[in-house]
């Protein structure tokens, strides 16, 4: 199931990028893209090498990261993916919006699967989960 979720994620991201080409970047595109790249790079910087995993299972020997963007968001890389993909879908047709919504659903499924594994591994997970948003602060 994990590989299917990852395959769906990348397929949907690719569909948005493919449908966006050629695109006319504007201020909304630039802001969404910059925000997505900033969040993604910040999340990568908060992880030690080898702690990051594209599949929704915690890495063996990994650690729970609760600093950097993880202080406010449990899945900042998923937020980064949505922001970057949303940048390319911005100004597109309704089909691109639907693809981004499908991508959000896939990322939510990945987050739920990942959180089951994190809860089993880390005793401090439940307290961390209670005080942080999953992907979008104040929303989800």
Tokens (6 digits) for 115: 């959180």
Question: Burial level of 120, CB count in 10 A (0-12/13-18/19+)?
Answer: exposed
For the whole model, what pTM was predicted? 0.93
Interatomic CA distance for residues 125 and 104, integer angstroms:
23
pLDDT (mean) for 74-92: 93
Task: Convert the pLDDT of each residue in 107-135 to its tens digit.
Answer: 999 999 999 999 999 999 999 999 999 99
Answer whether the bond into residue 22 is a cis peptide, omega within 30°: yes
Residue 106 tokens, joined: 């896939």
> What are residue 57's phi and psi, to 5 degrees?
-120, 140
């Amino acid at each position: 199931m994990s590989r299917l979720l990852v395959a769906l994620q990348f397929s949907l991201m690719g569909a948005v990028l493919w449908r966006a080409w050629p695109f006319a970047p504007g201020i909304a595109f630039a802001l969404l893209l910059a925000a997505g790249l900033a969040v993604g790079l910040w999340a990568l910087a908060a992880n030690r090498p080898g702690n990051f995993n594209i599949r929704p299972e915690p890495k063996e020997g990994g650690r729970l990261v609760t600093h950097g963007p993880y202080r406010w968001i449990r899945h900042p890389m998923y937020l980064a993916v949505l922001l970057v993909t949303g940048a390319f879908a911005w100004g597109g047709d309704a089909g691109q919006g639907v693809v981004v919504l499908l991508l959000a659903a896939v990322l939510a499924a990945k987050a739920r699967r990942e959180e089951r594994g994190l809860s089993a591994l880390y005793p401090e997970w439940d307290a961390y989960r209670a005080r942080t948003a999953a992907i979008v602060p104040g929303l989800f």
